Amino acid sequence: MIGVGVLLGGVARLGASSPLMAVLSPAVFVFVVGVLYLVTGAVWTSRTEYVLGVWTIVVALASVYVALPGSPLVIGLGGGGGLLAAALVHSGQARARRPR
C-alpha cells in the first residue's frame, strides 16, 4: 500500500488535477484489493474469491470511466454488492457442507 501512495503522489506531483486525483486515488486502492482477492482465489483454489477479485477489478476500472460524481457510487454499490454476493455464496457453501 505504500507503493500505491508513492505512485499516487508521483501522479499528483506531475500535475494531475484535483478531480482526476479524486477519481484515481480510490480506484487504484480498489484495484489493489481486487488483485489481492484474485491472488487469494488462485492460491487457495477458491473460485468465489477469484471471481470476487475479477469483479472488484472491473468495478475499479468502471469507477474511473464513470468519473465524478458517480465514481464513489460505482465503488460503493459495485464493490459492496460484490462482497455481499460473495458472502451469500460462502454461506450457501457452508450450509451445504454442514451434516444434517
Question: In Å, what is the CA distance from 45 to each residue of 35, 36, 55, 76, 98?
Answer: 15, 14, 17, 27, 20
Distance of alpha carbon 95 from alpha carbon 76, whole angstroms: 28
Domain ranges for the chain = 2-97
Average the pLDDT over 6-34 and give the result: 91
Distance of alpha carbon 15 from alpha carbon 10, whole angstroms: 9
- Tell me the pTM: 0.87
Average the pLDDT over 51-71 and give the result: 94
State yes or no: pLDDT of 37 exceeds 90. yes
Helix axes 80-97, 47-66, angle to 10 degrees: 170
pLDDT category of residue 65 using cuts at 50, 70 and 90: very high
Average the pLDDT over 73-79 and give the result: 95
